[in-house]
A and B are shown apart, each in its own frame.
Chain A
Amino acid sequence: MPEQRLSPTVCGNSKRNEVLSRRDFLNAATALLVGIGLPSTGVAGGGKHGSAGSGQRVVLVIFGGVRRAETFSPEGIENIPCLSGEMLRRALLFADVRNEGVTAHFNAISSIFTGTWQRVDDWGKDAPQSPTVFEFFRKQLRVAQSDTWVIASNKALTSLIGASSVSEYGPSYGANVVFPKQLMVAAVINALRAGRTASLADRTRVETELQAMLEAGNYEGLGWNVFDGVSNLDPRVRSTIEAAISNFVRSGGPTSGDELTYLVSKEVMRKFSPRLLVIIFSDVEVAHFGSYALHVAGIRTGDRLAHQLWQDIETDPEYEGKTTMFILPEFGRDPDGSITNGFFNHRSDTESTRSTWMMTLGSAIEKTGLVERPIRHVDLCPTVSGLLGCRRTEVQGVPIAEVHV
């Protein structure tokens, strides 16, 4: 569950943002909201185009279910000061990104990964039935597993999200999958069962509890698949997670699941520099429990963490100038007044649930601005595959023309 505390580096309060005049901001927001497009004259990202595969990197950030009403709308932009401010000015924003499949977590994410609408078990019992972008990339370009990661907060996912059940592909071409939030949940439950609840009020002891879970070795129970053997965590992975935990516990900052997911992602970027990194935030999913305030706090957290990730990319020589970042929700949420109880859920066959947005920044975009034509979630897989240098992907989606491979 997210907390409402905001880090001092929150985009809306940052010094960097202060230099943007309110008029600039409002002009940009108004232009966006009335759909007349943003200034689109500058070259964005500063990267080289047409260099697919030559060291290109992709960072894909997926939020849970987020409605346009709480994000890119007149009332919503206050919840996304980073995305609608500094980042928007450097981005290509797709205004109508459609989930035409099952609007539940496992299927939505596996459709994004495979480029083909998936209709598998929603609780992650079955792997996607078409090859994932990780498998295309690793098989065609003989890329190591450590170059492809999925780091996710979402409890509805399992390690099966990282590879398909297709016989000529499968787990041997899949991504590393880590669920940092599951480590936290397991540590809390473990401490509770052992009667060590006092541990959970003390940051130092919390770190001990989390480390104990890492040492326990039941990584499959956590849904992870980053092993060097049957149940041993790869030593480099282990030190990466330990560093993230230490930072998470000792920084005195917010302590939601997405914060830990971000810190683990940052460590993974620092140690492994993966060429394809997927980060899935899910603090917003507290909406299922009906707290609108906590849902909005989750959006603000996601906005801030996406911004921090972009800053990390821009200051890391392994990523700077050769990385494309995509940010998109899995789907929207149900409209107010729907029989499915509005923002709580994401089951209705409505625009509010099916249509969201996607922001693209970095080396693969030539111009900033707004793309009003609809694109689909399944279009992302062939686009990312192309950026990474894959020659072919037989999928339902088509490459997004505005993203230059």
Chain B
Amino acid sequence: MRSEAHDKLPEPLQEALDQGLLKRLPRTFLPFTRQQLRDWDYLFPYERNSIVRLLLFVASLSPAETVATFRDVLQLEQRMGVSNWQFSTEEQTILNASLLARSPYYQDWRKAVQKVFDAAEEHAARADTTKASRHRFVLLVIPQKLPLDSTTVWRRWQSIGRVVKLDGTEAGGSHSLAQVLLATPRGEPRAGLIDIVTRRPGKTVADCWILDAGHELVESVLASEPIEPGSYPATLLSYERLAGFREQFSHEINEMQKDLSAADAVYERLRKVDVTPWCPPEVAGVPVIREYLRSLYLSGNGALIFGNSFVEWGASEALRRARPDLLVARFGVRSKPKPFTSVAVFENPDQINPQPAVDDLQGSALDAQELAFYVWLAASRYDEYRTDTACVCVAESLSEAYVIAPPEFGLFRKTQPVPIGQLPVILADWLS
């Protein structure tokens, strides 16, 4: 069970809650709100700010304004008959989601809820005029092993950026490009990319994410310098190093009956079980990341099944929940489905079928191209990444990168092909 010390809620929020703030919220707002408050210790700073903005906005409203703000939501709740549902107001359940999604008013309800959140954000933006902008960087890596077609590789990006040729002849020997970029410089006055971000005022590990479909990238960061347990320089997530976590989760999910109440029971158990023993040290020692992973696996989207899906969905959730300044997503290789047993997708194919696993290089390459683009699309949904952000998607096997960045981004000023050895300096300049 969870056992960490608890952080206190901000004083103005606690006061508003003590004065009965939650009673002013519509019924369908309660599961999310209560769950966020209960999970306060496991929220990223961005999420905490977001729920505080919503609730303090509601607290600032007069009774008449409250009615006006929630009018649409309340009317829709009435039409949907929410008060007659078996609807949990304590936490978000699969049954809740199913009841909402089945309602003919579901899409209208979603729009009405979004309107309230937008109003809260606008209210907060008006109050905070000191918002400082800073450069951010998203690096997407399609590794050398994956075969790509130079004529189609960037087609899905629809000319939103530019292709930049790279010269890898003087790259870091056996190290991949991502390893070269993230390495701590030896004998040079400049800092590494991770250092630059984490030294920014008020920054935490949630501002710097490295997601790896394999293990090499995370392990090279872990090996780059001595790290005290519990004080990691970044959020380090390796699909392969999380195999134990996945096995345990999959086992529980495989036991689940095809029934809503059984599913909720399994999810309830998985929400509470102590996952620490299943985690590698870089996750076990960081409660907020442990809980992020639990929630990521519970939300599906293939994160338990395929490394590339884990990287994409993990990155998308990191962008949504933490708004990091630096995010690195490195894709990898999955195996081909095995004959017959591939129908049981939740089971570990290597455990249930003794036939040797065979790499699906072509299929993995297609997956990686699509999912790398999805990570950028996920980022571009948020204001934080629409300006002042450079996104570089590297196709290692082609020595090419697709770059979306403001015109002043240093890579655009270099003569092509750009030697890979110059990239760490260009990126350090961007983030500094």
**Residues of A in contact with B (beta carbons under 8 Å apart):** 1-4, 102, 104, 107, 119-125, 155, 158, 181, 184-185, 188-189, 191-192, 197-198, 200-201, 203, 206, 255-257, 286, 288-294, 296-297, 336-337, 339, 341-345, 347, 349
Contacts and interface: CB of A to CB of B under 8 A. Distances in A.
A267 to B, nearest CB: 19
Given A104-B101, A192-B352, A293 B373 contact: no
A305 B355 CA distance: 27
Contacts of A293: 360, 362-364, 366-367
**What range describes how many residues of B lie at the interface?**
35 or more
Contacts of A296: 366
B381 A337 contact: yes
B374 A289 contact: no
Contact of B367 (A3, A119, A201, A292): A292
A200 B306 contact: no
Nearest to A181: B343
Nearest to A342: B374
B343 A257 contact: yes
B301 interface: yes
Nearest to A188: B344
B377 A4 contact: no
Given A102-B102, A197-B351, A341-B313, A184 B343 contact: yes
Interface string B336-352: 11011111110100011
Contacts of B353: 197, 200-201
A2 B102 contact: no
A255 B156 CA distance: 31
Nearest to B307: A290
Interface in B378-396: 378, 380-381
Contacts of B366: 292-293, 296
B308 interface: yes
B31 interface: no
Nearest to A117: B104
B276 interface: no
B10 interface: no
B188 interface: no
A342 B352 contact: no
B305 interface: yes
Given A123-B258, A125-B259, A125-B260, A292 B370 contact: yes
Nearest to A191: B352
A333 B305 CA distance: 20
B334 A119 contact: no
A292 B355 contact: no
A290 B360 contact: no
Nearest to A347: B101
B373 A289 contact: no
A201 B300 CA distance: 28
Contacts of B371: 290, 292
Interface string B318-362: 000000000000000010110111111101000111110000101
Residue of A2, A200, A256 with highest tally of chain B CB at under 10 A: A200
B309 A290 contact: yes
A250 to B, nearest CB: 12
Given A288-B302, A341-B313, A342-B374, A3 B336 contact: yes
A92 to B, nearest CB: 31
B107 interface: yes
A288 B346 CA distance: 12
B241 to A, nearest CB: 19
Given A197-B352, A289-B305, A341-B313, A1 B343 contact: yes
Nearest to B309: A290
Contacts of A257: 343
A125 B257 CA distance: 12
A120 B300 CA distance: 23
A290 B309 CA distance: 5
A289 B260 contact: no
19 contacts: A1-B342, A1-B345, A104-B101, A119-B102, A119-B103, A120-B102, A155-B258, A181-B343, A184-B343, A188-B347, A197-B352, A200-B341, A291-B302, A291-B363, A293-B366, A336-B156, A339-B381, A341-B316, A342-B377
Given A188-B344, A257-B343, A123 B367 contact: no
Contacts of B309: 289-291, 344
A296 B156 CA distance: 15
A197 B371 CA distance: 33
A336 B374 contact: yes
B98 interface: yes
B312 interface: yes
B337 A1 contact: yes
Given A185-B344, A200-B341, A206-B340, A288 B301 contact: yes
Nearest to B155: A75
A196 to B, nearest CB: 10
Contact of B302 (A192, A289, A297, A347): A289
Given A200-B353, A292-B371, A293-B360, A344 B337 contact: no
A104 B98 CA distance: 10
Q: Of B336, B341, B344, which is in contact with the most chain A CB atoms at under 10 Å from its CB?
A: B341
Of all A-B residue pairs in the complex, the 5 with the closest CB atoms, nearest first, are A290-B309, A290-B302, A293-B363, A289-B302, A337-B377
Given A2-B342, A349-B110, 15 more contacts: A3-B342, A192-B351, A197-B353, A198-B354, A255-B339, A255-B342, A288-B300, A289-B309, A291-B306, A291-B308, A336-B373, A336-B377, A341-B313, A342-B374, A349-B107
B337 A3 contact: yes
Contacts of A185: 343-344
A168 to B, nearest CB: 25
Nearest to B342: A1
A246 to B, nearest CB: 14
A288 B306 CA distance: 11
B344 A201 contact: no
Nearest to A249: B340
Contact of B334 (A181, A291, A339, A344): A291
Contact of B305 (A124, A290, A337): A290
A3 B339 contact: yes
Contact of B352 (A1, A155, A188, A349): A188
A375 B27 CA distance: 37
Nearest to A120: B102
Contact of B340 (A198, A255, A297, A343): A255
B76 to A, nearest CB: 14
